[in-house]
Amino acid sequence: MNKKKAKLLFKHNSFDIIEDGNYVICAVSGKEIMLKDLNYWNVDLQEAYYSPIEVKDRLNKLKK
């Protein structure tokens, strides 16, 4: 299977695929996230997150 980075438009309950691919990069950890496993993102920042841990880290940085 060839891996290709996707480009997404994050919405509140879904996302649109702008450029085909099968993964995105976590904005905090830099880990690859397969689209089938993508559950966490921020609509306002248009960022994907690997897990709730990265979501919490990002929110804590934004509060500072």
Question: Is 1 a domain residue?
Answer: no
Cβ atoms of 16 and 4 closer than 8 Å: no
Q: What percent of the chain has pLDDT over 70?
A: 98
55's tokens: 């979501």
* Parent domain of 11: 7-63
pLDDT at residue number 64: 84
Of all residues in the chain, what percent carry a pLDDT higher than 90?
Answer: 95
**How many distinct structural domains can be found in the chain?**
1
pLDDT in tens, 33-47: 999 999 999 999 999
Burial of 26 (0-12, 13-18, 19+ CB in 10 A): buried
pLDDT at 1 over 90: no
Would residue 2 count as lying in a domain? no
pTM of the model as a whole:
0.92
Does residue 35 lie in a domain region?
Answer: yes
